[in-house]
Amino acid sequence: AREQGWLSDLAFCLNVKASQALNLGSATDAANFACQAYEISLQAESDEEISHSLYNMGHAQINKGDVSLGFENLTKCKILCEQIKNWRRLTKALNSLADIACYRSDLELALDFFTQAAIIAREIGNQYSEALITNNIGTVYMELKKYPQAKMYLNQSANTCQAIFDREGEAVALANL
């Protein structure tokens, strides 16, 4: 891709390497690949790869312990995904932002992000993500000691998991009940 001048393809490959490095637990390598992908995707003017890079950089930074910078890049990813209508990545970014809000004990903000993500997951027909996110909403309501809401979301998660034969997700939702 580099030799042919295919900058978007090169950025995509670097983003794949960043994702693989994250999966292997190497946040430093992931951050390096994601930063390279970001610079190249800016040159290529590829919003898809810019958002992909921001997402990977956000996760790498969180894994390296820089939660604030990770939150900043995931927020940029969220905004760009809304503009380019990349609903799948937007759902993932919102879910990650909600996780950070939980980490920071900002449960109302977490609920806002999780709710947005759940709505999008439902609209695009991603039942797996919807089940995971509704489980997360239920656990936030448990933390807030709002048990009727928690029960409603955890039951919804368990039912969705049952419908899509996600036994592990169903078990998690039921255990949270």
pLDDT (0 to 100) of residue 1: 58
Quick one: pLDDT at residue 15?
96
For the chain, the distance separating the N- and C-terminal CA atoms, rounded to the nearest angstrom, is 50
CA distance 89 to 93: 6
Q: Tens digits of per-residue pLDDT, 46-103?
A: 999 999 999 999 999 999 999 999 999 999 999 999 999 999 999 999 999 999 999 9
Would you tell me how many other CB atoms lie within 10 Å of the CB of residue 174? 14
Gyration radius of the chain's alpha carbons = 17
Predicted pLDDT of residue 6: 85
- What pLDDT is attached to residue 177? 86
The Cα 167–Cα 62 span in angstroms is 29
How do residues 121-153 score in pLDDT, each as one tens digit? 999 999 999 999 999 999 999 999 999 999 999
pLDDT value at position 2?
60
Which contiguous run of DSSP H or E holds residue 69?
A: helix 67-84
The pLDDT of residue 3 is 65
Residue 4: the pLDDT is 66
pLDDT average, residue stretch 99-117: 96
For residue 5, pLDDT over 80 is answered with no
